[in-house]
Amino acid sequence: MADALTPPFTDGLMLVGHRPPLGAYLVDTWRRRSFAFTLAKYRLVSRLLQNRLGLLWIVLKPVFMAAIYGTIFGALLSSSARPDDWVPYLLIGVFIFQFFTSCFSGGARAITGNSKLVQSLGFPRLLLPLSVVIEHGLEFVPVVALLAVLLLVFGVPIAWSWLLVIPILLMMAVFNLGLGLIVARMSVRVRDVQQFIPVINRLLFYASSIFFQLDEAFADHPTILTIAHLIPTYDFIALVRGVMLTDHPVPPLVMVAAPAWALLAIVIGVVYFWKAEARYGLTD
């Protein structure tokens, strides 16, 4: 294995099993960003071609999920536990949470699912988790468009504030990438990490105020409410609800916590992932 202090490139190619300095690593990742976009695009097309419904399945899946949860929890929850605009409230929660789960689950398999590519070619491995987030970001575009249409159908008036959904989702994508980098490295060493991802997703789903009002549920428990406001997935969902639904103002703590989570996740994720760069080529 090449020494970590030797130059990272030989005749313009990165050495396999080598960890360059962080600055050079990030520069090379940016220089090869077209690889991540191309990989994401073709992987998405490949997945769509495997299904008869193709692109239609992308938008049908969150609708089915919202319908199922809406039916179940609509029957279980009392009317006082549900907001007046419960259907739009539920739709935003289910749709936005799906973006997180797709990136989180895909990020865990970013290295282990591309082991042959990792072993064969020298390139910044960060491009693989990045391509996962890009892939699901492209996939999420028609989902957001459908969400806007459904909100209009259910009587939510369109507003200029809806445009703020774009920077919110970009910030969420940064958070998803940071978390994806962390679980991607962890999965290389311990494959069992991937088995815990669905469990974590389920816990976050119930803790992220998808189908109930968090502020109402814990109004008499300020400490629990504060902790709940610091859950990252809740923060991004609350931000989207705040700009699309007029009756759900964003808690002040959320406006601070969401960008803080994104910054913290990407910094820790990049450094943590980069530290093991030289070992990814040894994955089975």
Residue 157 pLDDT class (50, 70, 90 cuts)? very high
How many domains is the chain partitioned into structurally?
1
With respect to residue 209, please indicate whether it lies within any of the assigned structural domains.
yes
pLDDT computed for residue 5 by the predictor: 37
Q: How many CA atoms lie within 13 A of 89 on its CB side?
A: 20
Is the pLDDT assigned to residue 131 strictly greater than 60?
A: yes
pLDDT computed for residue 192 by the predictor: 75
pLDDT (average), residues 198-215:
86
Helices (DSSP H) in the chain: which residue ranges? 22-31, 33-49, 55-76, 86-108, 115-120, 127-153, 165-189, 193-207, 214-217, 222-229, 232-244, 252-275
pLDDT computed for residue 34 by the predictor: 92
Is the pLDDT assigned to residue 225 strictly greater than 80?
A: yes
> Which residue do the tokens 């090449």 mark?
2
pLDDT computed for residue 29 by the predictor: 92
Q: How far apart are the C-alpha atoms of 187 and 181, rounded to whole Å? A: 10
Is the pLDDT assigned to residue 209 strictly greater than 80?
A: yes
Residue 6 pLDDT class (50, 70, 90 cuts)? very low
pLDDT computed for residue 15 by the predictor: 55
With respect to residue 28, please indicate whether it lies within any of the assigned structural domains.
no
Is the pLDDT assigned to residue 52 strictly greater than 70?
A: no
Is the pLDDT assigned to residue 109 strictly greater than 80?
A: yes
With respect to residue 221, please indicate whether it lies within any of the assigned structural domains.
yes
Residue 281 pLDDT class (50, 70, 90 cuts)? low
With respect to residue 11, please indicate whether it lies within any of the assigned structural domains.
no
Which residue range(s) make up the domain with 234? Answer: 36-282
With respect to residue 16, please indicate whether it lies within any of the assigned structural domains.
no
Is the pLDDT assigned to residue 37 strictly greater than 70?
A: yes
With respect to residue 126, please indicate whether it lies within any of the assigned structural domains.
yes
Q: Are 39 and 131 within 8 A, CB to CB?
A: yes
pLDDT exceeding 90 applies to what percent of the chain? 45
Higher pLDDT residue, 173 or 218? 173
With respect to residue 10, please indicate whether it lies within any of the assigned structural domains.
no
Least confident of 62-66, 71-75, 130-134: 71-75
> Which residue do the tokens 């991540």 mark?
36
Residue 271 pLDDT class (50, 70, 90 cuts)? very high
With respect to residue 18, please indicate whether it lies within any of the assigned structural domains.
no
